[in-house]
Structures are given as structure tokens and as C-alpha cells.
A and B are shown apart, each in its own frame.
Chain A
Amino acid sequence: KAGVTQTPRYLIKTRGQQVTLSCSPISGHRSVSWYQQTPGQGLQFLFEYFSETQRNKGNFPGRFSGRQFSNSRSEMNVSTLELGDSALYLCASSLGDAGGDEQYFGPGTRLTVT
């Protein structure tokens, strides 16, 4: 079974621009969660989508948004990029039917904001 895939793997953007990251979950998984990883703040939860609905949200500004499509693929968008948005963005998929499902992570998208 194919794992979680994320595209692109690397991205360089300029402050003020916007960016869209994509995540394709493991086949059969309906939940996709997004995390931001930085050296200073560590791993922080952004949001979770299940069956095209945002089911859970972390403490990030409204510039961070996401969506999920009917095939469970998810996109994350960051508008008006700031230098502090430079991070590794990880998505994780799980079955999502019951709490506590194992979350399987993708390889991440490394975003650099200059």
C-alpha cells in the first residue's frame, strides 16, 4: 500500500506571497491532519479534516487554512507569508473512524520564506 505523499517537497517563497501544499493520504484513510515543525516551537497541530470537513483546529492564525476533497486528498494554504512561516509542514493520515487511530506521516514539505 502506498504511503502518504506530499507535494511539493521543497518550496521557496517571498514574504507576502501565498502558498498551497498538497497531501494525498493512504488509500482508505479519511482523516488528514497537518502539523508545522520548527526548531523553536517543535511540532504543532494545525488542523484535521475528515470527510471533507474540518473536525479539529489548532491555535494558528486565519492565514492558515485547508480543505479536503472527496477523494480525501487535502490541501493547506498559507496566505500573506511571513518569515516565521518557514518550517517543515507534515501531513498525517489515519482511518479517522475512531479516536486514537495511528497517524501515518508523509515526508513533509520544506517551506522557506525569504
Chain B
Amino acid sequence: AQTVTQSQPEMSVQEAETVTLSCTYDTSESDYYLFWYKQPPSRQMILVIRQEAYKQQNATENRFSVNFQKAAKSFSLKISDSQLGDAAMYFCASLLRYGGSQGNLIFGKGTKLSVKP
């Protein structure tokens, strides 16, 4: 069975600083995807970044980047130049690819990120 673990229930960062959120996952499959989602107090889940397991290159989206270590089954999110608007719950998620099937997202428990001005 797939599992996703986020070991940091809460994190805090100073505005303009860099923070890294940790995520580990477990799967016996070779074809899968990994995601980071952000859920602000409005509860709207927002896709932050996506990584395809077969790609060795780490994904980046502006201030957000990942460190994907496939052998270690680790998928951390780095937020650079943190802004007050980055404060939210961050969820790591995995998705198996079954041919053309969508599969389903397996989420970690989340990390609550606070940004201090």
C-alpha cells in the first residue's frame, strides 16, 4: 500500500528566509507522481508543484523547488524568499499511474507553515 509521511506537523519561517518541508513516501510501484499542495485558511487546495518519478531533474516553480531522492523515497519542498502569503497547510501527495487511469491521490497529514514578519 502507498503511504505518505510528513514528519513535521508545524514549521515556522521568517519572512524572506528559506524553509524546507519534509516528505517521505512508500510505494512498490515504479510509475508514479508526487505533488505538493497548499491549503490556506480559505481551505482551497492549490497545486504548488508536481514531480514525475521517472524524471531525475527536480521540479521548480518560481520560489518553490523540490529535492526528489527516489532511492530514499524522499520528496522535500523548499520555499525560498518566504512571503506572508505562503502561510498555509502544505500537503505532500503521491499518485500512482495505472495506464490511462487517474488513480487517486494519497496525502500526508500535512505541515502547518507559519511565516513571521
**Genuine A/B complex:** yes
Instruction: Enumerate chain A interface residues (CB-CB to B < 8 A).
Output: 31, 33, 35, 42-45, 48, 50, 55-56, 58, 88, 90, 92, 94, 96-108, 110
What is the 8 Å Cβ interface bit string for chain B, positions 93-106, against chain A (1 contact, 0 not)?
A: 10111111111111
* Interface pair B110/A97, CB less than 8 Å apart: no
**Which of A44, A92, A99, A102 touches B100 (beta carbons < 8 Å)?**
A99
**Which of B47, B104, B107 touches A33 (beta carbons < 8 Å)?**
B104
Asked if B42 is at the interface of the complex by the 8 Å CB criterion, the answer is: yes
Closest A residue, CB atoms, query B46: A105
What is the 8 Å Cβ interface bit string for chain B, positions 55-79, against chain A (1 contact, 0 not)?
A: 0000000000000000000000000
Distance (whole angstroms) from the CB of B83 to the closest CB of chain A? 22
* Interface pair A99/B98, CB less than 8 Å apart: yes
Closest A residue, CB atoms, query B104: A45
Distance (whole angstroms) from the CB of A14 to the closest CB of chain B? 24
User: Complex Cα distance A42/B91, Å?
Assistant: 10
What total of chain B residues lie within 8 Å of the partner, measured CB to CB? 31
Distance (whole angstroms) from the CB of A79 to the closest CB of chain B? 22
Instruction: Enumerate chain B interface residues (CB-CB to A < 8 A).
Output: 31-33, 35, 37, 42-47, 50, 52, 91, 93, 95-110
User: Complex Cα distance A56/B91, Å?
Assistant: 22
User: Complex Cα distance A105/B37, Å?
Assistant: 10
Please give me the 8 A-B residue pairs with the lowest Cβ-Cβ distance, nearest first. A99-B97, A105-B45, A45-B104, A43-B107, A100-B33, A100-B97, A42-B109, A31-B102
Distance (whole angstroms) from the CB of B33 to the closest CB of chain A? 4
**Which of B42, B52, B108 touches A100 (beta carbons < 8 Å)?**
B52
Give 20 A-B contacts (CB < 8 Å), ordered by A residue: A42-B109, A44-B107, A45-B104, A48-B104, A56-B101, A56-B104, A94-B102, A96-B102, A97-B100, A99-B31, A99-B97, A99-B98, A99-B99, A100-B32, A102-B47, A103-B47, A103-B105, A104-B47, A105-B44, A107-B44
